[in-house]
Amino acid sequence: MLILIGTALAAAALLSQQRSGNEPAPAPTATPKATGALLAPRPQLSALALPSSVTDVQLSAFPDWLANEPPPASLRAVVAIRGTMGIASVEGLTVVNWTEHGVSYRLESASHSVSELVVLADSLR
């Protein structure tokens, strides 16, 4: 009810201005101003790398602030990796996933076990 009354009052005021010849003043435009918080560069992220001798494992890494999707349902085992906690697959493709220093890492393999991937992850530099 209040919305209806407010709308009617605004319409009546606009109609009154139009009939009297007084045009409403244009609304001021906003000028965007840069702030340090919005333009601050992100820190350089350093990523771990697989040894060149490891060919049957894939390592992917990306900034953890981009990780906005929930992990797949198959990643539900909790594992300790590189001094932090990660998650691992319990079915299908063997996967371990963890985050450290602002980077989300994922190791995948069709031929290694979760424990082997955890050992490999712990050895990454």
Q: Residue 66: what pLDDT?
A: 84
pLDDT value for 89: 94
**Residues with Cβ < 8 Å from 107, sequence gap 6 or more?**
57, 58, 59, 95, 96, 97, 117, 120, 121
Domain coordinates in residue numbering, the chain: 58-123
pLDDT at 13: 66
pLDDT on residue 39:
54
Q: Token pair 């890494």 is at which residue?
A: 61
- What was the pLDDT predicted at 56? 95
Backbone φ and ψ of 65, nearest 5°? -70, -10
Beta bridge mates, 63: 103
Q: List the chain residues with pLDDT less than 50.
A: none
Contacting residues for 34 by C-beta, under 8 A, at least 6 apart: none
The pLDDT value given to residue 71: 87
In this prediction, residue 57 carries a pLDDT of 96
